[in-house]
Chains A and B, each alone.
Chain A
Amino acid sequence: MKRMLAFIKKEFIHIWRDKRSLLILIGMPLVQITLFGYAITNEIKDANIAVMDKSKDVTSERLVNKIISSGYFKLDSYIDTKQELEQKFKEGKIKLGVIIDNKFDDNLETEGISKVQIIADASDPNTANTLINYLTAIVKDFNNELNRTNEPVFTIDMRTRMRYNLEMKSVYFFVPGLISVILMLISAMMTSISITREKENGNMELLLVSPVKSIQIIIAKVLPYTFLAMANAVTVLLVGYYVFQVPVYGNLLFLLSECFLYVLTALSLGILISTKTNSQQAAFMISLVGLMLPTIMLSGFIFPIENMPIVLQWISNIIPAKWFLIIIRDVMLKGSGFSSLWHETLILFGFTLFFIFLSVKNYKERLQ
């Protein structure tokens, strides 16, 4: 036990004296959550539009007002010709052009139909899509209003409700994702680098000839990182809650236990990497390419798995972060508990056991 304490103390000293890593460990979560929370957002507000209102009557003006007052769009200018519209697009002044047909009001009265054309700048297809959806919804809503004041017609009144994230805030989406990336980074990358550092410096040999058991070396190695990873998870949750109002509906203790399980998975991966490599450089590259990129790209953190080609969907199944993301999102936003997440929990647990098994096997082979 005393041996363990001496060891754990040494690991904390290593981390504490390595100021650059320390800065990464403490600074990175804060920088990332600020970036994702404020700068990187896929909601669009105040998109500039140009309106070419050919009728200029009461109803068309009401429609334009409704669009502008929605908060999603800002009127750049009224224009008169399509050439002007083209010009605005090219200058990058507007994202959408709205063209309201001649005799908007009259046609509605007499023929019951009037036309609105929407032209979007699809050089950024995601934005264009989102904006068109917003605008279509506004026009539809306007249509319903008109029907209510006129004679009743048969309409299906469809109302949507975005459950678990009423305002569709992207930060709700990012905070859980961020936790999964940060935990993976700290636990897997930092542990594998720190173990290979001992090999590179020749410290490991000295430990192996000493009466210290390998399991003691490993536990002492991973304990500080477990501690740091959990502290970071709590930091991100707190910043998310107090700065960005991201709620935690589920049981906090359950959430932290799942975080802990995921940290174990990541640590076992880090150990596995360190049994396969002898240099910090290699450990860093493997962690970065083999763990970080898939965790960011294939876990559903940023890109929805459902939209991926089928092969990538299969691959995503072996990314631990995918399962953790399901768990943490459900716990935070839906308030789910173990009864609905035991499946994912079991998978993470299985991953952990598998990685530990492989590490032990590699380790024994190396000694023979």
Chain B
Amino acid sequence: MNNDDYIVEVEELTKKFGHFTAVNAITFKVHRGEIFGFLGANGAGKTTALKILSGLLAPTSGRAKVAGFDVNKSAEKIKNVIGYMSQKFSLYNDLTVSENITLFGGIYSLSDEEIKSKREFLINKLELEDVKNKLLRDLPMGWKQKLAFSIAILHDPKIVFLDEPTGGVDPIMRRHFWELIYEAAAEGITVFVTTHYMDEAEYCNRVMMMSEGEIKAMGTPKELKRKFNVDTMNDVFIKIARG
């Protein structure tokens, strides 16, 4: 395998906040086109690692490459080829559905025609025709998150980072959401998703478990279950958490 097959390469990445080490010398690689699950309890360092990879935070030491760009040297270039959706809902509540799509199309410098066709496509696909001129704040949570995800990949990024995207959504909506994730992956977009729903971990091609800033386990869900000799990812997680 040559390097081009990896979309994310992380080596000895460390982030310290004062005396607290949030991420402690982690090393891993993510294949192009895979759905990579990043699991861990709250405070395990997931969000910090994600923020470094998306150029929001500078690492204390170590190296990381996203889509071939070094996070230390070309953070700005990374921003053009990634999508991002955070656990905290982050589209504009006082803009309408259409306006949100148009705004983010503009932010990623899509042409007017592209924005127009993507807008129509999305509204059609997500069945938002009736509410496209409604303010976002009037939409149910699950719809908003589907829209947020679609907008995060509006500019056809190479990789999309999802930080607990399904927080606070009912299981059926989560199911719908994961269908969108599979669609994106099928189109060749790498999906890097953090979650603490262990059932979601089963949907990933490969997962990595983090605890106290360190990687505790990595592999396909099947491999991990066999390794820890349990039936569900939830049990894997419990075994790891107990040390």
Q: Which residues of A contact B (CB under 8 A)?
A: 2-3, 5-7, 10, 13-14, 17-18, 201-203, 205-212, 367-368
Contacts and interface: CB of A to CB of B under 8 A. Distances in A.
B90 A211 contact: no
Interface residues of B, number: 31
Given A202-B88, A203-B92, A211-B80, A368 B58 contact: yes
Contacts of A203: 90-92
Name the prevailing secondary structure of the A interface residues. Answer: helix
B217 interface: no
A301 B157 CA distance: 55
A206 B91 CA distance: 8
Contacts of B88: 201-202, 205
A60 B94 CA distance: 73
B106 A3 contact: yes
B11 interface: no
B82 interface: yes
A209 B99 contact: no
A14 B82 CA distance: 27
A7 B95 CA distance: 12
B89 interface: yes
Given A367-B57, A368-B58, A212 B90 contact: no
Given A202-B88, A206-B86, A367-B57, A211 B107 contact: yes
Contacts of A208: 55-56
Given A201-B93, A203-B90, A211-B79, A3 B54 contact: no
A202 B109 contact: no
Nearest to B89: A202
Contacts of A367: 56-58
Contacts of B84: 205-206, 209-210
Contact of B94 (A14, A206, A209, A368): A14
- 5 smallest CB-CB distances across A and B, nearest first, come from A6-B106, A202-B88, A202-B90, A209-B84, A206-B90
Given A205-B56, A205-B86, A13 B109 contact: no
A358 B108 CA distance: 29
A210 B106 contact: no
